[in-house]
Amino acid sequence: MSSGQEPVFSEYETDTSQTSKLLRKFKETPFVPIGMAGFAVVVGYGLYKLKHRGDMKMSLHLIHMRVAAQGFVVGAITCGVLYSMFREYVVKPKE
């Protein structure tokens, strides 16, 4: 390997801060952190309601919380895909 070659990932090597990489990723795909936050909220709510579930079996409660969390994440991913398609095909000027 010759020493005169430019690195393949030069833009990643210039951004050494983890926060700057994270912020750049959030700008590129804004619905991923929304999905993660929604997942955390659903799980937190499920843990809170765990005490007050009444006669509901534990397994049924956990299944409901899993479905709710997965539904939120899948919805956020779907919105992200639609948003990126909108950005690429509608907003982007035709060349």
pLDDT in tens, 21-44: 778 877 877 777 888 888 888 888
pLDDT for the residue numbered 36: 81
Rounded Cα gap, residues 93 and 95, in angstroms = 6
Task: Determine the length of the chain.
Answer: 95
List the domain range (segments joined by +) for residue 44: 10-91
> pLDDT tens digits for 7-20?
555 555 554 688 88
Rounded Cα gap, residues 87 and 29, in angstroms = 11
Contact between residue 46 and residue 65 where contact means Cβ atoms under 8 Å apart: yes
Greater confidence (6 vs 71) lies with: 71
Report yes or no on 2 lying in a domain: no
Report yes or no on 5 lying in a domain: no
Report yes or no on 4 lying in a domain: no
Binning the chain into helix, strand and coil, the percentages to the nearest 5 are 75, 0, 25
Contact between residue 33 and residue 39 where contact means Cβ atoms under 8 Å apart: no
Token pair of 38, please?
């929604």
Report yes or no on 3 lying in a domain: no
- Provide the domain count of the chain: 1
> pLDDT tens digits for 63-81?
988 898 888 888 888 988 8
Report yes or no on 73 lying in a domain: yes
pLDDT for the residue numbered 14: 57
